[in-house]
Chains A and B, each alone.
Chain A
Amino acid sequence: MAGVPAGAIDCDIHPSVPSVAALMPYLEDHWREQVTIRGIDELNSISYPLNSPLTCRPDWRPATGRPAASIEMVRAQALDPFATSIAIANCLYGIQLLFSEDMAAAFARAVNDWMAREWLDREPRLRASIVVPIQNAEMAVDEINRCAADKRFVQVLLLVMGDTPLGRRHHWPIYAAAEKHGLAIGIHAGSAYHNPPTPVGWPSYYTEDYVGQAQAFQTQLTSLICEGVFTKFPNLKVVMLESGFTWLPAHLWRLTKYWRGLRMEIPWVDRAPGDIVRSNVRFSLQPVDGPPDQASLLKLFDHMQSDDLLLFSTDYPHNQFAGLSAMPDGLPPALVRKIAIENPRATYARLLETVQ
Chain B
Amino acid sequence: MNELRAQAAPDAPATSRIAIADGDIHPARSGARDFHPWLSKRWQDHIDQYGAPSRHGWQVGPAYPKSQPNASRRDAYPPEGGRPGSSLSFMQHQHLDTNNVALGILNPLGSGQGVQNPALSAALCHATNEWQLAEWTSKDSRLRASVVVPYEDAIASAAEIRRYADNPSFVQVLLLSRTAEPLGSRKYWPIYEAAAEAGMPVGVHAFGYGGNPVTPGGWPSYYIEEMTGHSQCQQAGLTSLVMEGVFERWPTLKMIMIEAGFAWAPPLAWRLDKHFHTLRSEAPHLTRLPSEYMRDQVWWTTQPMEEPEPRAHLQDSIDWIGWDKLIFATDYPHWDFDDPAQALPLRISEQQRADFFLGNARKVYRGCA
Q: A145 on the interface (CB 8 Å rule)?
A: no
Besides A219-B229, A247-B264, A289-B275, 16 more A-B contacts (Cβ < 8 Å) are: A164-B217, A168-B220, A195-B217, A196-B216, A201-B182, A203-B236, A204-B243, A216-B232, A219-B228, A222-B228, A246-B270, A249-B313, A256-B307, A262-B222, A265-B224, A266-B222
Contacts of A220 in B (CB 8 A): 215, 217
- Could you tell me if A198 and B218 are in contact, using CB atoms closer than 8 angstroms? no
- Could you tell me if B213 and A208 are in contact, using CB atoms closer than 8 angstroms? no
Contacts of B307 in A (CB 8 A): 253, 256-257
Q: A352 on the interface (CB 8 Å rule)?
A: no
Question: In this complex, what residue of B is CB-closest to A251?
Answer: B264
Contacts of A251 in B (CB 8 A): 228, 231, 264
Contacts of A226 in B (CB 8 A): 220-222, 224-225
Q: A287 on the interface (CB 8 Å rule)?
A: yes
- Could you tell me if B306 and A196 are in contact, using CB atoms closer than 8 angstroms? no
How many residues on the B side are at the interface (Cβ–Cβ under 8 A)? Answer: 67
**Which residue, of A53, A162, A165, A197, has the highest number of chain B Cβ atoms within 10 A?**
A165
Q: B185 on the interface (CB 8 Å rule)?
A: yes
A326 CB, nearest partner CB in chain B, Å: 14
- Could you tell me if A200 and B182 are in contact, using CB atoms closer than 8 angstroms? yes
Stretch of A28-36, A77-85, A290-298, A343-351 at the chain-chain interface: A290-298
Contacts of A178 in B (CB 8 A): none
Stretch of B45-53, B105-113, B250-258, B278-286 at the chain-chain interface: B278-286
Contacts of A222 in B (CB 8 A): 215, 220, 224-225, 228-229
B187 CB, nearest partner CB in chain A, Å: 10
**Which residue, of A168, A198, A261, has the highest number of chain B Cβ atoms within 10 A?**
A198
Q: A46 on the interface (CB 8 Å rule)?
A: no
A210 to B92, CA, bound (A): 46
- Could you tell me if B216 and A216 are in contact, using CB atoms closer than 8 angstroms? yes
Question: In this complex, what residue of B is CB-closest to A259?
Answer: B224
Question: In this complex, what residue of A is CB-closest to B265?
Answer: A250
- Pairs A–B under 8 Å by Cβ, sample size 27: A162-B218, A191-B216, A191-B217, A198-B239, A199-B213, A199-B232, A201-B179, A201-B180, A204-B243, A204-B244, A205-B282, A207-B275, A207-B282, A212-B235, A212-B239, A222-B224, A226-B221, A250-B266, A251-B264, A255-B228, A256-B307, A261-B336, A262-B224, A266-B222, A287-B275, A291-B266, A291-B270
Contacts of B283 in A (CB 8 A): 205, 207
Q: A339 on the interface (CB 8 Å rule)?
A: no
Question: In this complex, what residue of B is CB-closest to A269?
Answer: B224
Q: A227 on the interface (CB 8 Å rule)?
A: yes
A257 CB, nearest partner CB in chain B, Å: 5
- Could you tell me if A165 and B263 are in contact, using CB atoms closer than 8 angstroms? no
A207 CB, nearest partner CB in chain B, Å: 5
Contacts of B221 in A (CB 8 A): 165, 167-168, 223, 226-227
**Interface positions of B from 13 to 31, Cβ below 8 Å from A:** none
Given the known inter-chain contacts A166-B217, A261-B336, please indicate yes or no for A206 contacting B279, CB distance below 8 A: yes
Contacts of B266 in A (CB 8 A): 246, 250, 291
Our count of residue pairs bridging A and B at CB distance below 8 angstroms stands at: 249
A265 to B64, CA, bound (A): 12
- Could you tell me if A254 and B264 are in contact, using CB atoms closer than 8 angstroms? yes
**Interface positions of A from 129 to 180, Cβ below 8 Å from B:** 160-168
- Could you tell me if B223 and A200 are in contact, using CB atoms closer than 8 angstroms? no
Contacts of B156 in A (CB 8 A): none
Q: A45 on the interface (CB 8 Å rule)?
A: no
Contacts of A244 in B (CB 8 A): 267, 271
Q: B233 on the interface (CB 8 Å rule)?
A: yes
Contacts of B240 in A (CB 8 A): 198, 200, 203-204, 208
- Could you tell me if A200 and B220 are in contact, using CB atoms closer than 8 angstroms? no
- Could you tell me if A200 and B217 are in contact, using CB atoms closer than 8 angstroms? no
**Interface positions of B from 242 to 299, Cβ below 8 Å from A:** 243-244, 261, 263-264, 266-268, 270-276, 278-279, 281-283
